[in-house]
Chains A and B, each alone.
Chain A
């Protein structure tokens, strides 16, 4: 009897404790708890979301979360990361475990419409590619007929792969593993001819191979994978804030504002820059932030180009070219609406 009471009590207290999470808006919650809870890649994807030996996070997705923290708190360290795998990421966002999901997630219609989440934009235009051994002598994905392909289960990758081979009428064999680590080990051991995932992921995974230079990434991109952060549906204020944090990063690059020069630019006469820095007009208050929110973001984290270069750009070990991810004015398709 007493044990029964105890267990009921325990259940009730748990409910009481847990119920503290519920409240009005995400922004208010974030401000109240003092940090942004960010869902990041738990699979150590170098350049996007990864931790080093000391447990320090780095990557483009991670820096985006830091930018949100900078916009809200003027402090990029006020963010906590929850490592998530492909299966649990949406549940984590839906259930409120994380405030924003910034974990190389592809923006698709079904995800936007039926999973209870909303994508704010695109941080990286990606596409699914193939990595093969150079010794295989293949130079195009169209020569992969009859290949055995390793991939991770439970992602759109598996479906794209099937579509690609079926549409080109090529036989293939898929070996689908539960975790990235296993895919890589199997590919390394020679279980398959090709390894397929988002091209960005291929660049990152290649570094983990014993001899990265023996492997190459084929030029074909077989799918559109616009990767972007997502938030829960139904909280427009938070959605707008996160969306404009991304636009601020892009606009800053377009306006030539960088971490280093943003203080000098305060004296600039360019009305666009003035609006950006919050000197002219107040664009922060309507989204629940201070008027110099965009200044804080760039000052603390840097603009989009800087984040890109620091994490995955040509000077890093990943060495990914800007390509599609260049600004629209420089031949890419990254484009942000103006702040005005």
Chain B
């Protein structure tokens, strides 16, 4: 018996063949992503042509044909590209506006403090968030206010008639003390009638009053800083002041409005809803017009508001309405069980909100809040319509300056402004996307 082994058994694998040439490498990628069908191929070519058609002149204008240095407009008069020399000459004005040159270190200091407070706040891993928040919300605004305006306000008071006491800081202090005492007394009375522990009602109020008193003392102290009126502020400074103040001030107001809208008390809920819908229904321009031409009419005689303050009030109210809707979305996303659980534990309304609901709801809406900050940041440009000089306004004003006016100056300024705004907004939107992803992970 002979065994013939004419069958062939291969006991090692064939080496893998290279994939077809047209599915790998650059060619493969091109085929798959750009020319998968004839229609796609045509589209790709059209889009490519479009990109070349739009991007080339832009690059030519901003880089190749641009004028980079020069003393005045003569270098840009015949230029066909951007006049960066003008941006260089005016950069300080774009940042500080008419803020006196010798005092600009104060603005720089505020920017640095802001960064010191903000950066660790934005990085989730850095500890001491509570302390950081206290610095950002409680300390930074006061310091920034004193640094930017110069502080040293003279409070003389007006409620006590001059015949009783001459106008002086002392009169103001007495007035404030009387005022605080009345408030605390009323609260104590209310607590007594409602049968609650008096100290629990009055202590927080006393703390708030004390905090306000400290602020008032601080802003009335003379730190030897030259006062700088807001009329001289401008540029990026105004943009940031309007955006950040509007945001910070609108935040608590927005929470109140959101809670108000979801309240069980019909009057509160109706009032909040009307407030929110009215502000959301009208354009910011009309709000700013209102703040600039109508607000003075609303005030008693002799009371005046600074132009910047008027814009801030308008922006804050406007922003609060949008913020309220964002926060309401967060509140609605909290499962009912959380409310019921909190109530079952015997927590009061404010305790429930403060300890259970808001911490969860606010965490959810962080991306939404960043988003609404982005739109506020972009909207700050509208203040130029009521005559404030923000970053864009300052650029626009300087483009027509006798020293630098040229056919390309205006366009250069707009492109520069666009790049700066874009950098800010894009960074913020990336951050919002980052927190959103982080939240998603956390929830899973």
Report A's interface with B, CB cutoff 8 A: 1-7, 9-10, 12-13, 15-23, 42, 44, 46, 51, 53-55, 80-85, 87-88, 91, 94-97, 178-182, 184-185, 188, 207-210, 317
Could you say which residues of chain B place their CB within 8 Å of the CB of A20? 154-158, 167
A88 lies within 8 A of B402 (CB) = no
B179 lies within 8 A of A12 (CB) = yes
Nearest 10 A/B pairs, CB to CB? A22-B302, A55-B98, A85-B387, A19-B158, A95-B296, A18-B303, A207-B402, A208-B400, A97-B304, A95-B304
B239 within 8 A of A: no
Give the CA-CA distance A4 to B256 in the complex, in Å.
9
Could you say which residues of chain A place their CB within 8 Å of the CB of B118? none
B231 lies within 8 A of A82 (CB) = yes
B410 within 8 A of A: yes
- Of the candidate stretches B2-10, B126-134, B204-212, the one touching chain A is B204-212
B407 within 8 A of A: yes
Could you say which residues of chain B place their CB within 8 Å of the CB of A88? 292-293, 307, 386-387
B62 within 8 A of A: no
Given contacts A95-B299, A207-B402, 5 further A-B contacts (CB under 8 A): A82-B231, A83-B231, A85-B386, A96-B304, A179-B396
- Point out the residue from A21, A54, A179, A210 that lies within 8 Å of B405, measured CB to CB: A210
| Chain A: minimal CB distance from B418 (Å) | 16
B172 lies within 8 A of A181 (CB) = no
Could you say which residues of chain B place their CB within 8 Å of the CB of A210? 73, 77, 405-407
B183 within 8 A of A: yes
Give the CA-CA distance A51 to B405 in the complex, in Å.
16
- A206 nearest in chain B by CB position: B402
A16 lies within 8 A of B296 (CB) = no
- Point out the residue from B175, B253, B399, B403 that lies within 8 Å of A181, measured CB to CB: B399
B101 lies within 8 A of A54 (CB) = yes
Give the CA-CA distance A180 to B397 in the complex, in Å.
9
| Chain A: minimal CB distance from B351 (Å) | 11
A1 lies within 8 A of B350 (CB) = yes
A16 lies within 8 A of B305 (CB) = no
B256 lies within 8 A of A9 (CB) = no
B340 within 8 A of A: no
- B190 nearest in chain A by CB position: A1
B305 lies within 8 A of A18 (CB) = yes
- Chain B residue total in the interface (Cβ 8 A): 62
| Chain A: minimal CB distance from B68 (Å) | 20
B387 lies within 8 A of A55 (CB) = no
Could you say which residues of chain B place their CB within 8 Å of the CB of A6? 208
Interface string of B162-182 (1 = CB under 8 A from A): 000001000010011001000
Between-chain CB contacts (< 8 Å), 13 pairs: A3-B252, A5-B183, A13-B176, A16-B155, A20-B157, A22-B303, A44-B401, A51-B98, A55-B98, A94-B296, A95-B303, A96-B301, A178-B385
B406 lies within 8 A of A9 (CB) = no
Could you say which residues of chain B place their CB within 8 Å of the CB of A10? 212
- Point out the residue from A5, A95, A179, A207 that lies within 8 Å of B208, measured CB to CB: A5
Could you say which residues of chain B place their CB within 8 Å of the CB of A95? 296, 299, 303-304
B229 within 8 A of A: yes
B302 lies within 8 A of A19 (CB) = yes
Which residues in chain B, 294-324, are within 8 Å of chain A measured between CB atoms?
Answer: 296, 299, 301-307
Could you say which residues of chain B place their CB within 8 Å of the CB of A81? 231
Give the CA-CA distance A209 to B228 in the complex, in Å.
32
Which residues in chain B, 194-242, are within 8 Å of chain A measured between CB atoms?
Answer: 204-205, 208-209, 212, 216, 229, 231-232
- Point out the residue from B101, B176, B303 that lies within 8 Å of A19, measured CB to CB: B303
Give the CA-CA distance A91 to B156 in the complex, in Å.
25
Give the CA-CA distance A129 to B94 in the complex, in Å.
33
| Chain A: minimal CB distance from B150 (Å) | 13
A18 lies within 8 A of B405 (CB) = no
- B305 nearest in chain A by CB position: A18
- B386 nearest in chain A by CB position: A88
- Point out the residue from A16, A55, A85, A181 that lies within 8 Å of B157, measured CB to CB: A16
Could you say which residues of chain B place their CB within 8 Å of the CB of A55? 98-101, 232
B153 within 8 A of A: yes
- Point out the residue from A16, A87, A179 that lies within 8 Å of B159, measured CB to CB: A16
Could you say which residues of chain A place their CB within 8 Å of the CB of B396? 179, 181-182
B157 lies within 8 A of A208 (CB) = no
| Chain B: minimal CB distance from A137 (Å) | 23
Interface string of B363-400 (1 = CB under 8 A from A): 00000000000000000000011110000000011011
| Chain A: minimal CB distance from B21 (Å) | 55
- B410 nearest in chain A by CB position: A185
Give the CA-CA distance A310 to B18 in the complex, in Å.
85
Could you say which residues of chain A place their CB within 8 Å of the CB of B307? 82, 88, 97
Could you say which residues of chain B place their CB within 8 Å of the CB of A19? 158-159, 302-303
- B293 nearest in chain A by CB position: A91
- Point out the residue from A17, A82, A184, A208 that lies within 8 Å of B155, measured CB to CB: A17
A21 lies within 8 A of B399 (CB) = no
Could you say which residues of chain B place their CB within 8 Å of the CB of A16? 155, 157-159, 172, 175-176
Could you say which residues of chain B place their CB within 8 Å of the CB of A22? 158, 301-303
Given A3-B256, A5-B205, A91-B293, A208 contacting B401 (CB threshold 8 A) = yes
